[in-house]
Structure 1
Amino acid sequence: MPESWFRPIDSYCERLGPGFWAEPLNAASNVAFIAAALWALVLWRRAGARDGPALWLIIVTLIVGTGSFLFHTFANGWSLLADVLPIGVFIASYFLLAMRRYLNLGPAAAIPVTALFIAFDLAFDSLWFRVLPGVSLNGSAGYVPAALALLIVGIACLSLGAGAPGRALLAAACVFILSLSFRSFDAAICATMPAGTHFLWHALNAFVLFILMKAAIVHPPRKKPNHVQD
């Protein structure tokens, strides 16, 4: 691995040194992702344990919690990748699921739309800093596309008659915006709250993922009607 992958990263109020447990709240709060995944797994089993895409989301959520724990303990380049990559996988996976399951797009439409969203997501930081140079929201600007997707797809679901998943997505959007606020405030309040607020991002974001996983579980793919032959 390149030497830069092992270079220490100090991004949050709670970290005052290079130690493994230098961010105890930020590290321990990742148990919320594990709890959300296990709770969703119980719901998945009760629903028949046959929904592969929903199970995939549960597995990715477990990896999200693990990767975030690694970053907030090792706090270096490789653990940063372990943190951000699973989150990106969950976002892309859920967007595709929403296109197929909630908006009923076929693969020929859902896959290109998802690819366009991923491209927009990857380019968003550059676009953001062109419009708002110097406004990083403490590194939270990159999550704005996910919040927009929840709001826009949720509204689209409601307008197309998919009320229940639409309400779930909008509820998740509200909690996600609140969690993004705590993530963004972390650096600004170090002087008054040394522990920061990043751990609240973990707790609320785990709740967001649970809302989304539950929506996927309780709204399985529509079964194709059997054709009756004369």
Structure 2
Amino acid sequence: MEGLQRHIDGYCERTDFTYWSEPVNALTNAAFLIAAWIMWRRVRDTGLVLAKLMCLDLFVIGIGSWLFHTHATVWASLADVIPIAVFILLYIFAACRDYWGLSTPWALLLTAGFVPFAALTVPLFQGMPFFDVSAEYWPVPLLIALHAFGLRRRAPETARGLAAGCALLVVSLTFRSVDMAVCASFPLGSHFMWHILNATMLGWMIEVYRRHMMRPQGMAQ
């Protein structure tokens, strides 16, 4: 239990381990809550169970990130990253089942395949300048880009939506990655932009899924 209480200082804005040492990083987590609320209103009457689960998880992401940027402990870090991992897996399953039309068993199998995919690609990003800071996240836009490319003929509108989400995530990750680099000239850092842009991106990805499923070809489960 003592290990879970260990403090983590990984962001420019934090100067000590008091609760409000990262006020901007903490408060900008409201973006996740707002995105979750907006998308919940858009999917609540659709019958799209996965979309609703994504909205709920998006809300939990905001709470978990709030806890991390206030408590700054190992347990709070887990509260931050676990909901993000859940969202990634939910979306991969949704993409495999509903974008590609795979059966549920195959969709589950390919969702589990994200683990070896990340295990192979994270070390590659860790060995690259700039990418190493957020190496654990870069496999995600890579995977989105692969889906967008593969769907360009099967579901072109969905593919364009995924490409836009991928581009937004790349910009978001850039702000996350330069946080400490800009610290000397901008003491606030840039991590807060990761929250704002990432919340926008996750909400958009739910919207891409909603639009796909509302089209005639997307209604088949």
Common fold by TM > 0.5: yes
- In our comparison, the structure showing a higher alpha carbon Rg is 1
Shift of residue 61 of structure 1? 0.2
Q: Partner of 2:134 in structure 1? A: 140
Residue 121 of structure 1 aligns to a residue whose secondary structure is helix
1:184 aligned to which of 177, 180, 187: 177
Distance 2:101 2:153 in 1: 13
More displaced stretch, 19-28 vs 108-117: 108-117
1:165 aligned to which of 158, 168, 190: 158
Say if 1:57 and 1:213, in contact at 8 Å, map to a contact too: yes
Alpha-carbon deviations, 1:162-218, whole Å to 9, x = none? 012111110000000000000000010100000000000000000110111111222
1:198 aligned to which of 191, 206, 210: 191
Say if 2:179 and 2:189, in contact at 8 Å, map to a contact too: yes
1:120 aligned to which of 117, 140, 150: 117
Does residue 86 (structure 1) correspond to residue 91 (structure 2)? The answer is no
1:76 aligned to which of 73, 76, 96: 73
2:204 aligned to which of 183, 189, 211: 211
Say if 1:92 and 1:118, in contact at 8 Å, map to a contact too: no
Q: Partner of 1:152 in structure 2? A: 146
Does residue 100 (structure 1) correspond to residue 97 (structure 2)? The answer is yes
More displaced stretch, 211-220 vs 169-178: 211-220
**Paired amino acid for 2:186:** M
Say if 2:121 and 2:139, in contact at 8 Å, map to a contact too: yes
Shift of residue 138 of structure 1? 6.2
Residue 189 of structure 1 aligns to a residue whose secondary structure is coil
**Paired amino acid for 2:50:** P
Residue 113 of structure 2 aligns to a residue whose secondary structure is helix
Where structure 2 has 5 or more consecutive residues not aligned to the other structure, the ranges are: none
Distance 1:100 1:186 in 2: 37
Q: Partner of 2:22 in structure 1? A: 23
Question: Structure 2 matches for 1:13-52, cutoff 5 A?
Answer: 13-45=12-44, 48-52=45-49
Distance 1:216 1:185 in 2: 30
Task: Give percent identity, aligned residues only.
Answer: 36
The count of residues paired between Structure 1 and Structure 2 equals: 217
Distance 2:9 2:132 in 1: 12
Residue 152 of structure 2 aligns to a residue whose secondary structure is helix
**Paired amino acid for 1:199:** F
Q: Partner of 1:228 in structure 2? A: none
Residue 219 of structure 1 aligns to a residue whose secondary structure is helix
RMSD, aligned α-carbons:
1.6
**Paired amino acid for 1:31:** A
Say if 1:32 and 1:206, in contact at 8 Å, map to a contact too: yes
Alpha-carbon deviations, 1:111-166, whole Å to 9, x = none? 2222112222245434544xx17x47463111111011111101111132x01211
Q: Partner of 1:64 in structure 2? A: 61
Distance 2:80 2:120 in 1: 19
